[in-house]
């Protein structure tokens, strides 16, 4: 596909977008999307289709079981397509990102020796910290890569001194679910690989907003929650094929070591939810086709990129609207990237108000049918390190592409009256 500047990107047709999300018609404005997005109607339809037409166990010789097996396989293939994975076998589906990271840490931990080192950050969701910290019980050394206290960024210069010949893994977030800042994952991966280590990325707060291309990022492991990317309550973990083959499994002892991804899926994965995933990349392709017409990319990966170009452009306008308002409030501190530049942040925006506890703000917004939230958002270590727990954490407004400028303005008017 040809490279286009954001100025050449069509304006997102929100009427078209919102027809795919029936829950947006119930009168609520959803600004808690980082906790879970609204679900695509075709996703729900695929669940129903599976349950009504093919709700049997997989792997049997009879025809309905063959249909069910193929549908579940299509779901995994769809996510491989979404993230540009080289092979559907490199995609492990599971109940949640937290569960998948725990499985990965358990399996990888069996290959490590006392004195080996793992680096985690203090900016991650706890899902990508605790499983690695627990390996200290077997003699693994865990180091903390701290965000810069001024810029609130993870600086490569601060990572370098932590890397040694014993470093086996660096666990890092693509985008903090509090700060909203996009970390330079490819640059981090290159630095980590230069030291002979692997990188494990939490993409939960990034994947709803930008195209994930695991091959371009050259990550060893990458996970995110599909219920935050307009799908069902399911998650995915990508791993480079050789890593997955080399790791011990998490399933029954008689499951072959080469049986990926099944050796990491005890009991298998939800059949109907897996099949419903086929609707997610199709939605992004439909966005591209609707907006780009004859100029639509020839490949599915190209079309998904075009869809995220549209999304990025629209979300930058949402970020700019809210951040501009917050900047004009002298008693407000933005926690994270203060710039609406879509190359630097996603529209997950956290703030605190001087002299006001964060837990008092969302309840005053609730009666107006606008959903925002306060707290630490499972990034407790970051909130503690920033000294924000006495204020009960931050207020977070997390927008996605189906949100409108008008919704943002309604929230701004209410916040303006509060502080």
Domain-located, residue 386: yes
Name the packing angle between helices 63-82 and 41-53 (round to 10°): 160
Same domain, 195 and 326: no
Q: What percent of the chain has pLDDT over 70?
A: 98
Q: What percent of the chain has pLDDT over 90?
A: 98
Q: Hunting for tokens 């129903």 — which residue is that?
A: 48
Backbone angles phi, psi at 164, to 5 degrees: -140, 175
Residues 6+ apart with CB under 8 A from 380: 126
Name the packing angle between helices 279-292 and 41-53 (round to 10°): 140
Backbone angles phi, psi at 416, to 5 degrees: -60, -35
pLDDT tens by residue, 135-155:
999 999 999 999 999 999 999
Domain-located, residue 369: yes
Tell me: pLDDT of 5 over 50: no
Same domain, 96 and 56: yes
Query: CATH no. for residue 80?
Result: 3.40.640.10
Query: CATH no. for residue 390?
Result: 3.90.1150.10
Same domain, 314 and 203: no
Same domain, 168 and 273: yes
Same domain, 358 and 414: yes
Range of the domain at 152: 44-280
pLDDT-derived band of residue 8, with 50, 70 and 90 as boundaries?
A: confident
Q: What is the mean pLDDT of the chain?
A: 96
Cβ distance 402 to 13 under 8 Å? no
pTM value?
A: 0.96
Same domain, 34 and 48: no
Tell me: pLDDT of 3 over 90: no
Give Dmax (Cα) for the chain. Answer: 68
How many domains does the chain fold into? 2
DSSP state of 115: T
pLDDT tens by residue, 188-243:
999 999 999 999 999 999 999 999 999 999 999 999 999 999 999 999 999 999 99
- Mean pLDDT calculated for residue range 83-90: 98
pLDDT tens by residue, 315-329:
999 999 999 999 999
Tell me: pLDDT of 118 over 60: yes
pLDDT given for residue 295 in this prediction: 94
Q: What ranges make up the beta strands (E) of 62-151?
A: 91-94, 117-121, 141-145
Tell me: pLDDT of 395 over 60: yes
Q: What CA–CA distance (Å, rounded) separates 151 from 264?
A: 38
DSSP state of 110: T
For residue 343, give the nearest of 214, 215, 206, 239 by alpha carbon. Answer: 206
Domain-located, residue 290: no
Tell me: pLDDT of 297 over 80: yes
Same domain, 335 and 271: no
Binning the chain into helix, strand and coil, the percentages to the nearest 5 are 45, 15, 40
Same domain, 97 and 117: yes
- Mean pLDDT calculated for residue range 96-107: 98
Tell me: pLDDT of 2 over 80: no
Same domain, 31 and 59: no
Q: What CA–CA distance (Å, rounded) separates 159 from 147?
A: 10
């Amino acid at each position: 596909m040809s490279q286009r500047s954001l100025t050449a990107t069509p304006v997102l047709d929100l009427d078209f977008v919102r027809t795919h999300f029936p829950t947006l018609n119930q009168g609520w404005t959803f600004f808690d999307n980082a906790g879970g997005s609204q679900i695509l109607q075709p996703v729900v339809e695929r669940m129903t289709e599976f349950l009504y037409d093919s709700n049997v166990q997989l792997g049997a010789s009879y025809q309905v079981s063959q249909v069910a097996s193929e549908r579940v396989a299509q779901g995994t293939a769809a996510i491989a397509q979404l993230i540009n994975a080289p092979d559907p076998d490199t995609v492990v589906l599971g109940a949640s990102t937290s569960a998948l990271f725990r499985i990965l840490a358990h399996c990888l931990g069996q290959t490590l020796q006392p004195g080996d080192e793992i680096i985690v950050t203090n900016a991650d969701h706890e899902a990508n910290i605790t499983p690695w910290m627990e390996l200290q019980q077997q003699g693994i050394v865990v180091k903390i890569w701290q965000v810069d206290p001024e810029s609130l960024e993870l600086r490569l210069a601060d990572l370098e001194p932590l890397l040694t010949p014993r470093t086996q893994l660096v666990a890092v977030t693509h985008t903090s679910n509090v700060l909203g800042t996009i970390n330079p994952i490819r640059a981090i991966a290159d630095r980590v690989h230069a030291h002979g280590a692997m990188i494990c990325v939490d993409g939960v707060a990034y994947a709803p907003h930008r195209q994930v291309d695991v091959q371009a990022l050259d990550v060893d492991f990458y996970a995110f929650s599909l219920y935050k990317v307009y799908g069902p309550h399911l998650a995915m973990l990508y791993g480079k094929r050789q890593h997955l083959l080399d790791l011990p499994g998490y399933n029954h002892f008689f499951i072959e070591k080469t049986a990926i991804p099944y050796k990491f899926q005890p009991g298998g994965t939800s059949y109907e939810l897996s099949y419903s995933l086929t609707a997610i990349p199709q939605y992004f392709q439909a966005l591209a086709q609707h907006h780009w017409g004859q100029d639509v990319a020839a490949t599915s990966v190209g079309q998904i990129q075009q869809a995220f170009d549209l999304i990025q452009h629209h979300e930058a306008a949402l970020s700019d609207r809210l951040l501009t308002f917050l900047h004009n409030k002298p008693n407000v501190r933005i926690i994270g990237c203060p710039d609406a530049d879509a190359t630097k942040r996603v529209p997950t925006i956290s703030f605190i108000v001087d002299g006001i506890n964060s837990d008092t703000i969302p309840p005053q917004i609730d009666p107006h049918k606008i959903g925002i939230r306060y707290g630490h958002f499972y990034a407790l270590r970051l909130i503690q390190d920033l000294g924000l727990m006495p204020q009960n954490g931050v207020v977070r407004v997390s927008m996605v592409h189906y949100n409108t400028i008008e919704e943002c303005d309604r929230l701004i008017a209410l916040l303006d009256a509060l502080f």
